[in-house]
Chains A and B, each alone.
Chain A
């Protein structure tokens, strides 16, 4: 990359060397003129690409785009970097995507930035029409369902035209889509947009190992697929065990982990694992294996604190999260106090699944290996702090940013709450949201837009 500079430099030196004696006296006299002439010659619109690229690689996403609007030659460099996906802008903190479940065709979407704590409304409306819903996100892609897409059922002689939804990955910036199978054989008529309570992807659709797993709302079954499958695969639970209701799912290295709980009182019972990748290669449906059973004994349930809290109008929330870089599966317990006007998060307890004498068990941890966890009811993502740039406080590792819309109570309007939990100090800070004018019951999830 520096060869160009060397060549130009040595060429100029040779040239100047030849002219050295000749111009020496003249240079001394016309020193000032020479300087201002050189200033004009340093025309930044004609600066070599390599230099512009170096500046580009240090810009944040927004500045990256502004770079492309400066002038035509800079725009060319900008466009080339998009085509070749290099240099890329600095990675930044995920934004909180908030949108209101459709009512009366009035969709409002907002993006909340942790950096300046402002709410932004995309100029190009996100979801046009009430038939689009966002079920999850991964690496700059939103996972969407379009409930209006009409597809004939497989038996075309049938006079009933079933409307099947369309599922797809969507990257709003280049407006790219990758379709997921739309065939999903469920034996009942579904309210499509409420079909899945959770949907997670293992990676973006541009990765060959992309797997998508979804948890059915209330039915306690899992569906999974890959972008080029013909239809979704459904795993039916063998027996409807009331003590093994599926509460959460998480993907890690081709396996789907399921957190189960009891129907009443929501005591967590076990973590199951389905080997989805193995199921694809052996073409047989995946079988559940119990990873850890009797979870409630391993969580500090037996500590008198937690038991008392439950009776004192506190609620417990459990989430699974995974770190694909370190290969660690986490279980997060959040204790929420409902005694006040609005719910207040009192404590975050984080466990990781560890092998002790070859037996998997929960181990309480006080750090995320330097990662930052972005958690909401819809998704969980762990981002290594070292890849982020920004204010020290913001990007410090071993923090949890938790966004949640609490169910409606008499005194508490349906506003999402964001809190930041520092694992090292134990402090919980509430991050106020500016009034998003999003009406009631917005859905929120963390979204990190990428340019490609």
Chain B
């Protein structure tokens, strides 16, 4: 691994390649926030295009946008609200998994809170549909579970 002498790392950009073959550039300091990327840089060097097999061109730009704001210290509640405002449920899920894969802690925590917010007071069926999970309980098991849950008395919102 030949490390070429480079000028200040703050101006250096790293190339990331998504699983569907597209290349994006991010600042080295933003890359540092994504621990997976940082480890890859440490292993492969910062001149090589870093391959991200499990992240795709749909979501990576959003992630880059978040960390661009983060390195300038400009992440506010308003920014975060704007960030998720136009995302539909699928997009949030995809971002969430990508953030987990990239070990991008701040974004990951933020998105897990957002998902929890989206699930607040929603019915079990809604949660299943949201995550695309199949119900593998038998009807008897299900009614037994509902009995056990006699304590969840928050009102159920109508499915949106």
A positions within 8 Å CB-CB of B: 2, 5-6, 9-10, 12-13, 16-17, 20, 24, 27-28, 31, 34-35, 38, 42-45, 51, 54-55, 58-63, 65-72, 74-75, 111, 113, 115-116, 118, 120, 122-124, 172-173, 449
Residues on A with beta carbons closer than 8 Å to the beta carbon of B45? none
What residues of chain A lie closer than 8 Å to B151, measured between beta carbons?
Answer: 61-62, 65, 122, 172-173, 449
- A-B contact sample (19 more), CB < 8 A, given A44-B133, A61-B152, A69-B145: A5-B100, A9-B36, A9-B54, A16-B53, A20-B51, A43-B132, A51-B100, A59-B116, A60-B121, A62-B121, A62-B154, A63-B120, A65-B148, A71-B137, A75-B145, A111-B153, A116-B154, A118-B155, A123-B147
B24 within 8 A of A: no
Closest Cβ of chain A: how far from B146's Cβ, in Å?
Answer: 7
Contact across chains for B51 and A17 when beta carbons are under 8 A apart: yes
Please indicate which of the listed interface residues A66, A116, A124, A449 has the most CB atoms of chain B within 10 Å of its own CB.
A66
B82 within 8 A of A: no
Residue of A nearest to B127 (CB): A70
Whether A27 contacts B20 in the complex (CB less than 8 A), given A58-B112, A62-B121, comes out as yes
CB neighbors of A among B131-160 (8 A):
131-137, 142, 145-155
Q: For A69, give its contact among B100, B120, B124 (CB under 8 Å).
A: B124
Q: Enumerate chain B residues within 8 angstroms of A120, measured Cβ to Cβ.
A: 153
Do the beta carbons of A69 and B149 come within 8 Å of each other?
yes
Cα A172 to Cα B142 in complex, Å, equals 21
Verify B154–A6 contact, CB threshold 8 A: no
16 contacts between A and B (CB under 8 A): A5-B101, A6-B36, A6-B103, A9-B36, A16-B51, A45-B136, A55-B115, A55-B116, A58-B116, A62-B153, A63-B119, A65-B152, A66-B123, A69-B149, A113-B153, A122-B151
Interface flag for B69 (CB, 8 Å): no
B149 touches A66 (CB 8 A): yes
Chain B residue nearest to A121 in the complex (CB): B153
Q: Cβ of A51: which chain B residues have Cβ within 8 Å of it?
A: 100, 112
B18 → A minimal CB distance (Å): 10
Q: Could you say which of B97, B108, B152 contacts A42, with CB atoms under 8 Å apart?
A: B97
B56 at the interface (CB under 8 A from A): yes
Question: Closest residue of chain B to A14, judged by CB?
Answer: B43
Given A10-B39, A16-B53; A58-B113 close (CB under 8 Å): yes
Q: A6-B35, A35-B56, A69-B145 are in contact. Are A122 and B133 (CB under 8 A)?
A: no
Question: Closest residue to A30 on the B side, CB-wise?
Answer: B20
Q: How far is the CB of A75 from chain B (nearest CB, A)?
A: 8
The 9 closest A-B pairs by CB, nearest first: A120-B153, A62-B152, A58-B116, A44-B131, A123-B150, A62-B154, A16-B53, A124-B150, A65-B152
Chain B residues with CB under 8 Å of A28's CB are: 21
B40 at the A/B interface (Cβ < 8 Å)? yes
Which residues of chain B are near A59, meaning CB under 8 Å? 116, 119-120
Given contacts A44-B133, A62-B121, A70-B127, contact A13 B149 (CB under 8 A): no
Q: Which residues of chain A have C-beta atoms less than 8 A from B108's C-beta?
A: 54
Q: Give min CB distance, B61 to chain A, whole Å.
A: 15
Q: In the complex, which residues of chain B have a beta carbon less than 8 angstroms from the beta carbon of A75? A: 137, 145
Q: Which of A10, A45, A54 is within 8 Å of B134, CB to CB?
A: A45
Instruction: Please report the C-alpha to C-alpha distance between residue A27 and residue B109 in the assembled complex, in whole angstroms.
Output: 32
Q: Which residues of B contact A34 (CB under 8 A)?
A: 19-20
A2 touches B136 (CB 8 A): no
Q: Which residue of B lies closest to A72 (CB)?
A: B136
Distance (whole angstroms) from the CB of B40 to the closest CB of chain A: 6
Q: For A71, give its contact among B21, B136, B152 (CB under 8 Å).
A: B136
State A383–B36 Cα separation when bound (angstroms): 40
Given contacts A9-B101, A62-B152, contact A69 B146 (CB under 8 A): yes
Contact with A along B31-75 (1 / 0, CB 8 A): 000011001100100000001011010100000000000000000
CB-defined contacts of A17 to chain B, threshold 8 Å: 51
Residues on the B chain within 8 Å of A42, using CB:
93-94, 97
- Give A287 to B135 CA distance when docked, in angstroms: 63
In angstroms, how far is the closest chain B Cβ from the Cβ of A366?
28
Is there contact, CB below 8 Å, between A9 and B133?
Answer: no
| Chain A nearest CB, measured from B81 CB (Å) | 14
B106 at the interface (CB under 8 A from A): no
Docked complex Cα distance between A70 and B130 (Å): 11
- Bound-complex Cα distance A67 to B149 (A): 11
A60 cross-chain contacts in B, Cβ below 8 A: 120-121, 154
CB neighbours of A61 from chain B (8 A): 151-152
